[in-house]
Chains A and B, each alone.
Chain A
C-alpha cells in the first residue's frame, strides 16, 4: 500500500515552524520518501498564525492536499483553524503551553517545553516536537539523528548532542505514552537514488549560475528574494557581482548597463517592484540590450497580499512599457523546469537582444519539491557576440543596429575592438545615433519587431498530459502543472476522459498551438488559472484565435488543490 501522509506544523511567526518543517522534510527525504513542503505565512516577523505543511509519499508528489494526518500545534490557532482538516489523524500539542478547549481523543499531549528544559533549555522545544512526531510514526530514529547532525554541526558537538538528546526524549515519550504505540507506521521505502529537496527560487538561482550569470541587481521583494539571496551567497565562488539597488528602477537600469558592457545580467522582483522597472523594460527593448527579468508573482494590486500566491501579472508583463518591441516569457512548471528554462531565457535574451521574463509565483518560489538532480551538462551558454575571429565581419564603422532580415544585428561589446558601440533610447539610425526621420523610424521599428518571428520559432510547444485527445481538456500555465496533472490522474482513474495542455513558454506562442488544442480537445476546453479574470485564456485567444469554453479560477492568495479543481468542474457541470 502506498504512503500518502500529511504533516502540518502550525504556530506563530518566530516560533521556528520552518525549521521544524524542514527537519521533518529532510528526515523523510533521507529515508527515500518523496516530500513536498509548502508554507503559508503572513507578512510579519512575529505573531500571527503561520503553518508549514509536508506531504510525504513513496511516489512522486505533484500537489498539495487539504488532508492532514498529523498536526503539530504550537499555538491555539493551529487547533482552532486546522482541527477540521484532520482525517483520522492526531494533534500533537503541549497542553502546558497551549490552552486546548477541545477534549477530542485525537489530541495527544506531549510536554515539549518541560522535556526540553530537562535536556538543557527551552531552545530545544522544537526538536522535542520533531522527535515526538517521528516517535508517533515509529520512524527510523537514525535518519533524524543524521539530519540533526548535518543541521547543527556548524554550531558544535554540544549543540548537536543536545538536539539529539531532545529529539530522542520526545521520540521516547511519544512511543511510551501514545495509546497503541504507533499511530501510523511510516517505514522508509529506502532508495539508492539521492534526491534534492529544493524550492522553485533555488532552482532558478542554480539555473542562472549554471548559465553564466555575472551580474544581478535587485531590491528585495517577497517572494522573489530567495533567488537574489541564493545567487549572492554563491557569488564569489561563481564570479558574480550581486548588488542590492536603492530601488527597482535602479536595479533594472544597472543590469542593463552591465549587460550592455557584456555581463550576463538579471534582476529579480515581484509585481510592485516590476511596476517601477517598466520604463527600463522599454529601454532594453529599444537599445536591444539583453536582460533576464525574474518575476515572482503575488496577489496585487499595489502591496496586495505580500506572502501569498497568484498568477495575476501575465498581461502586465506582456504589455509593460510604451511602444512595441519583442519580448519572451517563460513560466516554469516545476523547479526542474525552472532550472532549464532559466538557461533558455538567458540564451534567448542574448540571441534576440530583448528582455526575457521568467514568471514564477509564491507557490513555486517557496514550496520545497523533491527532484532528481538537474543535468548541468545540458546547459549551453550561447552569447551570440561578435568575437575577434569574426571581427572582420564588422563594418569599418560598426553599426550596432545593422539592418538584417532576421532583425538581429551582430552585437559587439564596448571596449573590445577599436569599433565604437553606440546605443540609444531615442529612436536611432543603424549606428545608434539619434535619428528622428520618418523613413528610418519605419525601417528600424520593423527591424526590431521582425525578431518576434524568429523568437516564435524558438518557443517549445505545450506539454500534453494524459491522452492525446479527450472530451475535457484542461489548460494551465506555469506552476499549476503538478496540481493539474494530479487532477487528471484522479479523474482518469475514475473513468473521466480528460487531459491537460500545460504551457511553460507562454509568449510568443508557437504557430502550432491552435492545431494542438484542436486535436487535444473534443468538447470542453477549460482554462485553469490562479487569477480572477483568466488572463492566459485571453492571450491564447488573441495569439491563436482559440476560445476556451470555461474557466476554473482562484484568487484567494492560495494555490490550487486537485479537490478544489474537481469541485469547480462539478459545480460548473463539466463533470457529471
Chain B
C-alpha cells in the first residue's frame, strides 16, 4: 500500500510562500498514492522554471531536463520502458513557448504519458515577463505597452489535435485537482492537465482571488466530455467564467506504444540483441538484391 508519505522528500522547498505550486505538489502526491503506484515505478520528467523543480520535492525517479524539451524526453523514456508511469511537468513557457512544437507533435504521437502544466500566465523564474498564455494588455517590464499577442489556447489546440484527455484544474482547489490528475494518470494516451496556478509574486492580474471568482466546474453543469465540437466551444470560454474539469476524453484511441509491434512482447529495454543477426543482412549486400 503506497501512502502520501512514500512520496514525501525532506528537502527545502524553494518556491515563494503561498505559491500555487504547493497545491499542485500536494495534488500530485494525492493522486499517486491514491492510485497505489510505488515511487520507483514513476518517472517524472520536468523542464526549467519553478515548475521544473516539482519532481525534486517528491520521491520518485526524476529526469529534470532542458527548458521546453520535456515532452520529447518523456516520450523517449516511455517508449524505452513502457512499464514506467511517465509524468511530464512544465510551465506555460516550457510547454507552450519554448516547447510549443513538441507539444503539438507529442499529442500527435499519443504516448501514454501525463502532461501537467503549471500555467501561471507569467514568467516567474526570470522575474515577470509575459508568457504565451498572458492575457492581452498585461503590462510587464518587457511588454511595456501591454501584451499584444493572442494568448495560446492550449486546450483548444489539444482538442483540435485529437488529444485523448484534455482538462484544466485550479491550484486553489486541491481536491478537484487531485481527482483530475488521478484520472489523467489512469487514462491511456497523452493526457493534458493545464493548471491555473497563481503566481503570488509577479502576476498581479491573475491572482487567487481573480481565479476563484471565475472558475466553475464543468461536471457540475451536466457537461459530458465526449463531444469534440462541444469541447472545442468550451475551451474558448475565458473571462468572467472559466471552466475547469475534463473538457474532452476519448478512450479507444491506440497509444504510440500500442502501434509499435516490437513492444508487444516486452518493454524495449528487455529485448535482447544477437550481433550475428547482421550476418543475414550482409548477405544482401553480396547479391544484387535491390535495397
Q: Do A and B bind? A: yes
B-chain residues with CB within 8 Å of residue A433 when the two chains form the complex:
11, 56
Tell me the residues in window 404-423 of chain A with beta carbons closer than 8 Å to chain B beta carbons: 413-415, 417-423
Cβ distance A357 to chain B, nearest Cβ, rounded Å: 19
Q: How far is the CA of A197 from the CA of B289 in the complex (A)?
A: 11
Q: Contact flags (1/0) for B53-77 with A, using CB distance below 8 Å?
A: 1001001111111100100111111
**CA A56 to CA B258, docked complex, whole Å:** 49
Question: Are A253 and B62 touching (Cβ within 8 A)?
Answer: no
Within 266-288 of B, Cβ neighbours of A (below 8 Å) are at 268-269, 271-273, 275-279, 281-282, 285-288
Q: How far is the CB of B238 from chain A (nearest CB, A)?
A: 28
**Contacts A425-B66, A434-B53; is A420 near B60 (CB within 8 Å)?**
yes
Partner of B105, one of A23, A26, A211, A250: A250
| Chain B residues within 8 Å of A466, by CB | none
Residues of A within 8 A of B277 (CB): 209-210, 237-238, 376
Give the residues from 221 to 267 in chain A that come closer than 8 angstroms, CB to CB, to chain B.
234-241, 243, 245-247, 249-251, 253-263, 265
Q: How many of chain A's residues have a CB under 8 angstroms from any CB in B?
A: 77
Interface check B80, CB cutoff 8 A: yes
Q: Which residues of B contact A23 (CB under 8 A)?
A: 288
Residue of A217, A381, A415 near B81 (CB, 8 A) is: A415
- For the complex, is B40 an interface residue (Cβ under 8 Å from A)? yes
On whether the beta carbons of B76 and A217 are closer than 8 Å, the reply is: yes
- Interchain CB contact under 8 A, A287 and B65: yes
A432 and B63 CA atoms in complex are apart in Å by: 9
Instruction: Kindly list chain B residues whose C-beta atoms are within 8 Å of the C-beta of A215.
Output: 76, 79-80, 268
Q: Which of A95-103, A147-155, A536-544 contacts B (4 or more CB under 8 A)?
A: A147-155
Quick check: is B102 within 8 A (CB to CB) of the other chain?
yes
CA distance A239 to B268 in the complex (A): 7
Residues of chain B within 8 A of A212, CB atoms compared? 272-273, 275
B69 cross-chain contacts in A, Cβ below 8 A: 249-250, 253, 280, 283
A-chain residues with CB within 8 Å of residue B76 when the two chains form the complex: 215, 217, 253-261, 265
Q: Are the C-beta atoms of A196 and B286 separated by less than 8 Å?
A: yes
Q: Tell me the complex Cα distance, A434–B50, Å.
A: 12
The answer to whether A262 and B279 have CB atoms under 8 Å apart is no
* Set of chain A residues within 8 Å of B282, measured between Cβ atoms: 196, 206, 373-374, 376
Any chain B CB within 8 A of the CB of A195? yes
Closest to A432 in B: B62
B101 pairs with A247, CB closer than 8 A = yes
Contact with A along B158-175 (1 / 0, CB 8 A): 000000000000000000
For B48, the chain A residues whose CB sits under 8 A away are 425
**Closest-CB distance, B21 to chain A (whole angstroms):** 15
Task: From A195, A209, A259, give the contact of B80 (CB < 8 A).
Answer: A259
Of A210, A236, A247, the contact of B275 (CB 8 Å cutoff): A210
Q: Is A376 a contact partner of B279 (Cβ separation < 8 A)? A: yes
Binding site for B on A (CB under 8 A): 23, 26-27, 30, 146-147, 150-152, 154, 194-198, 202, 206, 209-212, 214-215, 217, 234-241, 243, 245-247, 249-251, 253-263, 265, 279-280, 283, 287, 373-374, 376-377, 379, 381, 413-415, 417-426, 432-434
